[in-house]
Structure 1
Amino acid sequence: MTGAAPRALRVPYVIAHADEGAPQRLRFARRPFGGLRLAYDNPRRSDLVRGVLRARVLNNRQGAPQWRKLNTLRQWRCMERNLCQVCGLDATDPITGRIPWITTATAFRAIPDVSNSGYTSAPATCLACIPESLGMCPQLHVSSAVYTVARSEPAAVLADMFSPGPGGRAVHTGEHNVLVGLNEPALLRSALATQLIVRIEDMRPLKVT
């Protein structure tokens, strides 16, 4: 008698796939009231979100999973709508109204002098998907904690930084994953956002069984 076949690893909703890349043809364009701002050669209204230029990606979930990379559109959607990063559904507990969240040392930063609050680039995880996430994600074995939070609010982005080159061409500065606050317009003008960061508040430890 043969044993049961191992369960296939589910690819989380937020993970990027190999065929979701998009051209990033960038330049610095002069704004109507002066000053330069990073833009695409063929700008679209959807490029600017919350005052920052967002990196273009496809949203087809085609190609091999890129386990160490998040799809910018789906990550952003999860953060703005409190969707589960694994299944893509609403992560808010319908009974308590609170949002379950797994934090890690690499994706969470506590706010000094503000108790039970912090910044994170990792989306929420619904109660149904937490056991699977903790059991199957190697990164969560290293350092993770599970909380419920009362609310989340967009606060910053992780971005690649650019500077103007000859003819307005955008030149990458070599800086990746730079934390830029949504209240820093001078920096946002030179930033290409790849992930949205939210502030989570009223964090309470959640015991996972």
Structure 2
Amino acid sequence: MVMMNRKIALMGLSIATSAMLLGSCSTIQSMSNTQKGAATGAVAGGALGAIIGNKAGNTAVGVLAGAAIGGVAGGLIGKKMDRQAAEIERTVPGAEVIKADEGIIVKFDSGILFDFDKTEVKPAARENIGKLVASLNQEPNTDILVIGHTDNKGTDSYNQGLSERRAKAVRDYAVSQGLAARRIKTEGRSFHEPIGDNNTEAGRAQNRRVEIVIVANDRMKEEALKEAGDS
């Protein structure tokens, strides 16, 4: 049922969520390219969901799918993302790196970042976020979305606030470490995008997480499209 719901939701998420992430950036592509990217994202969503499986929530998968442009240009972006994913895997302990086509998801168990029911980033986790920022700053032409998730213990209202505050705490610390604030946004999803069974402690532990989604910004896409056209 979870996978069926994911496939249904991805069609809308792939466009709507990417618009939320990238909406504040200046639009430097033509409308035809924008429409092409949205259409590609909608088609790619189901395939990406199958690749990623139950490792990340619909919002993260939708952002990746909605940002994809495909073709030769998409392949060029994918190569850059491969290099960055490998760098993050090498330098950021405690992070699970999920590479999917033209984007990356960096996932942290909430227990690594926060004490129980708290929103202040643990001292031990700050070094990891600092290393992630160092990697992100090596490739400035990306946009980042931080998504907070909880398990289903407690009310939806409480968990929504907790997921939002935790995502914002990660964002704020990343910005304090030198990441440009214009590049990074946040969202909280409460317990609405489980990747584990909330009826078990092991499943609930999986669901308490923060996902950091990295996608090409308009400038990277424009450069890739130009390079693909020149090749």
Into which bin does the TM-score normalised by the smaller protein fall? under 0.3
More helix by share: 2
More strand by share: 1
What is the TM-score with the length of structure 1 in the denominator? Answer: 0.26
